[in-house]
Amino acid sequence: MSSLWPPRHTARRPVPRAAAPREPVDPARIGRRVVRRRAKGMDAGAVAQALEEVRFDARQDSRHEHLADDERGRAELAEWERIDQLLAAAAPNAVYDPDTGDDVQAELAAEAAAAAAREAELREAARVAAHADELQALCELGTLEQTEPREGDEAARDELTRRAGSYVQKDVDAWLAHALAGHRGHYADPAARAAADRVAAPADRQGSGDPAAQGE
């Protein structure tokens, strides 16, 4: 049987990085923004005329099967109708100003919050990827077992698994299991040990009488 620890040195291989999440394209949102830019400064008469033109285009498009599911077109029509109703209920000579509409501001706030969440996701993905690179380098240098585990190791281990299956992961699994059994690093905290219960002991340690394994 091969030695239990440390794991054997593994040859370096190129490992693919995860693609950064991209902002989803929202045709309806694009359509609403186009309408608001065009309608800005229009009075009720101008909006009513634009609405009739859009309705005519929608009727024409409905005759073509490939345009039947035009999400952006439907959103533009709905936005013109909303603005038309808004000005109909407004004071005489009022003009449309998207910068003062409560619903527009609420939508912009929601979009800003979504953008902030995506940015936070990007930062976290970059942090995990960098830590995965660090663990991979330590494995290749044969010095992983000399490293104290810290918070975030499990996420980095999962990133290595996603990148290349079992490559490096077995070394990291063994290192984490030994650290967990010995309560090393952040595993000195009982809460961290409880959260890491999915880290399985290496198969060649099970039933071996290893004191560290029995101490789990």
Q: Where are the domains of the chain?
A: 27-100, 119-214
* pTM of the complete model: 0.51
DSSP 16: P
Residue ranges with strand state E in 63-202? none
Do 96 and 87 form a contact (C-beta atoms < 8 A)?
yes
Place of tokens 């490939």: 66
Place of tokens 């003062």: 100
Instruction: Find the distance separating the first CA and the last CA of the chain, reported in whole Å.
Output: 23
Which positions ≥6 away from 201 have C-beta within 8 Å? Answer: 177, 181, 213, 216
User: pLDDT 10s per residue in the chain (216 long)?
Assistant: 444 444 444 444 444 554 555 566 789 889 999 999 999 999 999 999 999 999 998 888 777 776 667 889 899 999 999 999 999 998 888 999 988 877 788 888 888 898 899 899 999 999 999 998 998 888 888 888 888 888 888 888 888 888 876 555 778 888 888 888 888 888 888 888 887 765 444 434 444 444 444 444
